[in-house]
C-alpha cells in the first residue's frame, strides 16, 4: 500500500468581500453607462443630422438606424469569443484578462471621440465600428475575469452585483441623455443642440469608462497563467479548433444560449425603435424625454429586484426566476401592440421588474453551465454571441417590417409588428429556459458552499465520530494509528525531496513498476520492472498551507513548481536514466488531470477499498476541520485512481 497524496487541493474558494464584488463589477457600470442610451436615444438623434433632415422617425431614418446598428453588431459577433479564447492562453505578469480590458478600453475611447464630433455619415459609421471593436474586446476579457475570481457558492450574489451595476449604468446613461438631448422635440430638432448634447454625452461617459477601467486593471489581482500548463503548439491548434464546438455538446449550454438570444432579440427590437414610435406613431412632442422616462421607470422597477434575487438564486435556483422575468417583460411589451393608449408608468415598472430579475441571475446561469473553467473566456465569449447576433437580426427585422408597412401608407402597423415580434421573442425565452436542468447548477453550488455554515452536509459513517478532535496533523481516537502506519510506510518506501524544488509539496520514491503492462497516450510503454517515480504529497506542509487565505491558489501553483523542478532534473539523461514515467495514486483525479496526468481507474477490490479508507483518514487527520471535513464536498464518496505521466510528457509540459 502506497502513501497517497490525499489532502484535497481544491475546495470552495474563499468567500469574497463586498469590496471585492464592487471592484469586480464596477466596469459593468461604466460599459452600460456609455452604451445604454446609445441605440435608443443618442444615435437616433444624431442620424437626424444626416438622413432626411426635417423629419423625425420616418422610414428612411428607421431603415438607416437598423443598418447602422447591424453593421456595428457584425463586428461584435465573434470578437468577444476570440478575445476570450486568446485570454484563456495569455501568459504574462498582468494575468490573462486585464491586458484585453486595457487595450479594448483604449479603442473604445478613441471610437467615442469620433462619435462625439461626426463630420459626416462615414465618420459616424467609422466611429461606431471602432467603438464596437473596443467594447467587445474589453467585454471578451472582462467576462472571463469574473468566473476566475468568483466562488461557485457566490455566483448568484456576484450576478446580483452585476445586475445592479448594469441597472445603475443604464439609469445614469438614460438620465444623462435625457438631460443633454431632452430639448430635441418633434418640432425643434436643432442641429447645434444635437451636436453639443452628443459631444457632452460621449465626453462624460468616456471619462467614467476610463476611471472604472483603471479601477479594474489595478484593483483586481490575477495569478499569471503558467506557460507550462499550456498544451504543445500542435495540440494547442487542435484543441483551439475543437474547443469552439465543445460547448454545443452540452444541452444546458445550448438552452441557456437560446434563452439569452431570445430575450435579447425581444429587448433589442423594443428598445431600438421605441423612440421613433413615440415620435411618429404616438405623436409625443418630447419623444426623447418620454423614451428616457419609460426607461427610467423600467430601471426603477429593476432596481427593486436585481441584487436581492441574485442572492436568492444561490439558494432556490435560477430557472424559474428567468422564466417569470421574461414573462413580465413580454406582458409589458404586449400592451404596446394591443393597448397603445395604456398609461406608461405601470408598463415601465412591470417591464423593469422582469428586467431586473433577469439581469440578476443571467450571468450566474451562464457560468453554471460552462463546460470548463479553463476555457471560461472563450465559452463566455461564445455565450456573448447570444447578445450580438440578435443585435444584428433585430434591427434588420424591425426596419424591414417598418419599411414594408410604409409602402402601404401605415407606418404605425409596422411599429406594432415590431413590438409583436419582441413579445414572441420574450415568450420564446421563457419557454426555452424551462429546458435547463437547474438541479445540476444547484447541486454544484451546494458542493462548493459546503465550506459555509449554512451549506448542506453529506452523510458519513458514524464511526468517524470516534476520531472527534482530530485535525491539522493532531490525531485523536482510532486515527492515532494513521501517523504510525504512515511512518511504517515511509520506512518501507522511503521518499526524497525533488532535486532543486523550492515548494517541496511533492516528495518522490524511485522504484520499479510491478503491475500489468500499460501504454500511455504519448506511446510510452510501461512494462513490469521499468523504472518509475512515485509522487507523494508532503501532507504536513499542505496542512499548513490550507490555513492560508490563498490556499486554493497555492495548492495549484506549488505542484506545478515542483513538477518544473523535476523536469529540469530529469532533463539531464545522467539523472535517474531508468525512470520512464512518474506516477501517483490519489483521491484527487480531477486535479491530476489539470496538471497533465493521465487517469487510470482501478478495479474495485478489497485492497482499493482499504486504500480509500486510509486516504480518507489522512484527509481527516491533516485538514484543520478534521472529520467534519468529510461531511463536505465530494471526496468522501470518491475512490482513488492511478495518475500517470511519461518522462517525455513531463519534459514537454514542464521542461525549459
The per-residue DSSP string of 298-331 comes to HHHHHHTTHHHHHHHHHHH-SHHHHHHHHHHHHH
- For 615-644, give the DSSP string: HHHHHHHHSTTGGGGGGSSSGGG---EEEE
Nearest of 393, 388, 391 to residue 80 by alpha carbon? 388
Question: What per-residue confidence (pLDDT) applies to 559?
Answer: 85
The pLDDT mean for the chain works out to 77
Radius of gyration, alpha carbons of the chain? 29
Confidence category of residue 641, pLDDT binned at 50, 70, 90: confident
pLDDT at 168 exceeding the cut of 60: yes
Q: Which residue did the predictor score with more confidence, 423 or 490?
A: 423
Give how far Cα 347 sits from Cα of 19, 296, 299, Å: 35, 12, 12
pLDDT at 466 exceeding the cut of 70: no
Question: What per-residue confidence (pLDDT) applies to 552?
Answer: 53
Angle at 149 between CA 7 and CA 390, to 5 degrees: 130
Question: What per-residue confidence (pLDDT) applies to 205?
Answer: 92
Instruction: Give, as one character, the DSSP assignment of residue 10.
Output: -
Question: What per-residue confidence (pLDDT) applies to 57?
Answer: 56
Question: What per-residue confidence (pLDDT) applies to 295?
Answer: 65
Q: Count H helices and E strands in the chain, helices first.
A: 23, 8
pLDDT at 304 exceeding the cut of 70: no
Backbone angles phi, psi at 512, to 5 degrees: -115, 145
- Report how far residue 489's alpha carbon sits from residue 483's, in angstroms, rounded to the nearest whole number: 10
Q: Which residue did the predictor score with more confidence, 406 or 630?
A: 406
Per-residue pLDDT, averaged over 49-74, amounts to 70
For the chain, the distance separating the N- and C-terminal CA atoms, rounded to the nearest angstrom, is 34
Answer yes or no: are the C-beta atoms of 261 and 390 closer than 8 Å: yes
Confidence category of residue 645, pLDDT binned at 50, 70, 90: very high
Q: Which residue did the predictor score with more confidence, 506 or 40?
A: 506
Per-residue pLDDT, averaged over 352-367, amounts to 77
Tell me the torsion sign for CA atoms 299, 354, 365, 634: positive
The most confident of 138-142, 441-445, 552-556, 610-614, by mean pLDDT: 138-142
Neighbour tally for 634: CB within 10 Å = 12
3-state secondary structure of 525: strand
Per-residue pLDDT, averaged over 441-459, amounts to 43
pLDDT at 456 exceeding the cut of 50: no
Answer yes or no: are the C-beta atoms of 506 and 536 closer than 8 Å: yes
- Maximum alpha-carbon separation in the chain: 94
Give how far Cα 380 sits from Cα of 574, 636, 647, Å: 47, 32, 35
pLDDT at 442 exceeding the cut of 60: no
pLDDT at 647 exceeding the cut of 80: yes
pLDDT at 485 exceeding the cut of 60: yes
- Strand 598-601 with 641-646, pairing: antiparallel
Q: Cell 509539496 sits at which residue?
A: 505
Q: Which residue did the predictor score with more confidence, 574 or 225?
A: 574
- For 544-603, give the DSSP string: HHHTSTTHHHHHHHHHHHHHHHHHHHHTSTTSSTTEEEEEEEES-HHHHHHTTPEEEEPP
pTM of the model: 0.56
pLDDT at 634 exceeding the cut of 50: yes
The most confident of 164-173, 329-338, 439-448, 615-624, by mean pLDDT: 164-173
The most confident of 25-34, 234-243, 267-276, 365-374, by mean pLDDT: 25-34
Nearest of 428, 445, 135, 86 to residue 257 by alpha carbon? 428
Per-residue pLDDT, averaged over 129-149, amounts to 85
What are the cell numbers at 148? 476566475
Q: What is the CA 540 to chain-centroid distance, rounded?
A: 35
pLDDT at 36 exceeding the cut of 90: no
Per-residue pLDDT, averaged over 235-246, amounts to 55
Count Cα atoms within 13 angstroms, Cβ side, for 479. 27
Residue range 18-226+247-450, CATH number: 1.20.1250.20
The most confident of 26-35, 308-317, 364-373, by mean pLDDT: 26-35
Q: Which residue did the predictor score with more confidence, 647 or 342?
A: 647
Nearest of 538, 575, 559, 574 to residue 645 by alpha carbon? 559
| Sheet with 496-497: strands ordered across | 496-497, 506-512, 531-537, 579-586, 641-646, 598-601
Backbone angles phi, psi at 526, to 5 degrees: -110, 115
What percentage of the chain reaches a pLDDT higher than 90?
Answer: 9
Give how far Cα 330 sits from Cα of 270, 292, 426, Å: 10, 20, 5
Question: What per-residue confidence (pLDDT) applies to 446?
Answer: 42
- Residue-wise pLDDT tens digits, 173-227: 888 988 888 776 655 667 788 888 889 999 999 999 999 999 988 988 887 776 7
CB within 8 A of 266, min separation 6: which ones?
Answer: 326, 329, 330, 333, 421, 422, 423, 424, 425, 426, 429
Question: What per-residue confidence (pLDDT) applies to 653?
Answer: 86
Question: What per-residue confidence (pLDDT) applies to 560?
Answer: 86
Answer yes or no: are the C-beta atoms of 555 and 588 closer than 8 Å: no
- Strand 531-537 with 579-586, pairing: parallel
The most confident of 36-40, 105-109, 344-348, by mean pLDDT: 105-109
Burial readout 324-355 (b: 16 or more C-beta within 10 A, e: otherwise): bbbbbbbbbbbbbbeeeeeebeebbbbbbbbb
Question: What per-residue confidence (pLDDT) applies to 105?
Answer: 93
Q: Which residue did the predictor score with more confidence, 374 or 121?
A: 121
Angle at 130 between CA 125 and CA 131, to 5 degrees: 95
Per-residue pLDDT, averaged over 102-120, amounts to 90
Question: What per-residue confidence (pLDDT) applies to 236?
Answer: 47
Q: Which residue did the predictor score with more confidence, 275 or 561?
A: 561
Q: Which residue did the predictor score with more confidence, 550 or 426?
A: 426
Q: So where are the chain's domains?
A: 18-226+247-450, 462-654
| Residue 103 host element (H or E) | helix 98-116
Confidence category of residue 307, pLDDT binned at 50, 70, 90: low
| Residue 531 host element (H or E) | strand 531-537
- Report how far residue 45's alpha carbon sits from residue 179's, in angstroms, rounded to the nearest whole number: 14
Nearest of 33, 60, 31, 28 to residue 47 by alpha carbon? 60
Amino acid at each position: 500500500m502506497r502513501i497517497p497524496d490525499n489532502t484535497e487541493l481544491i475546495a470552495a474558494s474563499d468567500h469574497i468581500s463586498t469590496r471585492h464584488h464592487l471592484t469586480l463589477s464596477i466596469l459593468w457600470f461604466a460599459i452600460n453607462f456609455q452604451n445604454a442610451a446609445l441605440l435608443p436615444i443618442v444615435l437616433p438623434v444624431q442620424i437626424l443630422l444626416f438622413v432626411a433632415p426635417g423629419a423625425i422617425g420616418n422610414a428612411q431614418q428607421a431603415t438607416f438606424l437598423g443598418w447602422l446598428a447591424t453593421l456595428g453588431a457584425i463586428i461584435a459577433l465573434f470578437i468577444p469569443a476570440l478575445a476570450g479564447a486568446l485570454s484563456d492562453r495569455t501568459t504574462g505578469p498582468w494575468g490573462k484578462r486585464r491586458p484585453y480590458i486595457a487595450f479594448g478600453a483604449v479603442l473604445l475611447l478613441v471610437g467615442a471621440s469620433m462619435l462625439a464630433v461626426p463630420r459626416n455619415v462615414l465618420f459616424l459609421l467609422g466611429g461606431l465600428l471602432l467603438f464596437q471593436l473596443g467594447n467587445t474586446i474589453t467585454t471578451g476579457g472582462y467576462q472571463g475575469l469574473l468566473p476566475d475570481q468568483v466562488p461557485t457558492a457566490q455566483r448568484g450574489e456576484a450576478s446580483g452585483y452585476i445586475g445592479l451595476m448594469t441597472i445603475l449604468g443604464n439609469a445614469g446613461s438614460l438620465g444623462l441623455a435625457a438631460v443633454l438631448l431632452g430639448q430635441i422635440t418633434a418640432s425643434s430638432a436643432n442641429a447645434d443642440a444635437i451636436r453639443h448634447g452628443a459631444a457632452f454625452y460621449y465626453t462624460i461617459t468616456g471619462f467614467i469608462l476610463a476611471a472604472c477601467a483603471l479601477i479594474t486593471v489595478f484593483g483586481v489581482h490575477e495569478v499569471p497563467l503558467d506557460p507550462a500548463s499550456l498544451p504543445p503548439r500542435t495540440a494547442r491548434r487542435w484543441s483551439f479548433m475543437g474547443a469552439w464546438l465543445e460547448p454545443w455538446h452540452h444541452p444546458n449550454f445550448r438552452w441557456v444560449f437560446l434563452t439569452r438570444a431570445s430575450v435579447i432579440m425581444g429587448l433589442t427590437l423594443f428598445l431600438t425603435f421605441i423612440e421613433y414610435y413615440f415620435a411618429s406613431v404616438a405623436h409625443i412632442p418630447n419623444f426623447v424625454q418620454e423614451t428616457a422616462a419609460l426607461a427610467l421607470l423600467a430601471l426603477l422597477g429593476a432596481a427593486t429586484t436585481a441584487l436581492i434575487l441574485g442572492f436568492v438564486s444561490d439558494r432556490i435556483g435560477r430557472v424559474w426566476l428567468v422564466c417569470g422575468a421574461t414573462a413580465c417583460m413580454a406582458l409589458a411589451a404586449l400592451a404596446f401592440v394591443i393597448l397603445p393608449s395604456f398609461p406608461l408608468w405601470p408598463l415601465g415598472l412591470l417591464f423593469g421588474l422582469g428586467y431586473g430579475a433577469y439581469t440578476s441571475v443571467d450571468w450566474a446561469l451562464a457560468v453554471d453551465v460552462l463546460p470548463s473553467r479553463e476555457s471560461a473566456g472563450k465559452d463566455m465569449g461564445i455565450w456573448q454571441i447570444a447578445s450580438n447576433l440578435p443585435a444584428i437580426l433585430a434591427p434588420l427585422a424591425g426596419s424591414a417590417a417598418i419599411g414594408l408597412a410604409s409602402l402601404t401608407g401605415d407606418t404605425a402597423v409596422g411599429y406594432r409588428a415590431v413590438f409583436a415580434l419582441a413579445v414572441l421573442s420574450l415568450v420564446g425565452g421563457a419557454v426555452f429556459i424551462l429546458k435547463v436542468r437547474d438541479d445540476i447548477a444547484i447541486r454544484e453550488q451546494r458542493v462548493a458552499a459546503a465550506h459555509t455554515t449554512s451549506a448542506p452536509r453529506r452523510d458519513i459513517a458514524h464511526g468517524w465520530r470516534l476520531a472527534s478532535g482530530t485535525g491539522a496533523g493532531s490525531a485523536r481516537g482510532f486515527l492515532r494509528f494513521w501517523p504510525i502506519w504512515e511512518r511504517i510506510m515511509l520506512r518501507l518506501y522511503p521518499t526524497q525531496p525533488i532535486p532543486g524544488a523550492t515548494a517541496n509539496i511533492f516528495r518522490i520514491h524511485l522504484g520499479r513498476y510491478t503491475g500489468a503492462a500499460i501504454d500511455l497516450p504519448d506511446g510510452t510503454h510501461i512494462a513490469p520492472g521499468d523504472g518509475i517515480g512515485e509522487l507523494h504529497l508532503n501532507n504536513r506542509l499542505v496542512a499548513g498551507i490550507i490555513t492560508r487565505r490563498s490556499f486554493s491558489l497555492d495548492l495549484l501553483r506549488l505542484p506545478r513548481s515542483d513538477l518544473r523542478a523535476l523536469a529540469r532534473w530529469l532533463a539531464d539523461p545522467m539523472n535517474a536514466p531508468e525512470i520512464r514515467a512518474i506516477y501517483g495514486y490519489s483521491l484527487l483525479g480531477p486535479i491530476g488531470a489539470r496538471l497533465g496526468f493521465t487517469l487510470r481507474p482501478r478495479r474495485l477490490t478489497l485492497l482499493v477499498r482499504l486504500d480509500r479508507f486510509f486516504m480518507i483518514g489522512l484527509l481527516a487527520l491533516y485538514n484543520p476541520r478534521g472529520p467534519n471535513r468529510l461531511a463536505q464536498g465530494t471526496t468522501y464518496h470518491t475512490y482513488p485512481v492511478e495518475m500517470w505521466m511519461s518522462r517525455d510528457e513531463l519534459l514537454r509540459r514542464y521542461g525549459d
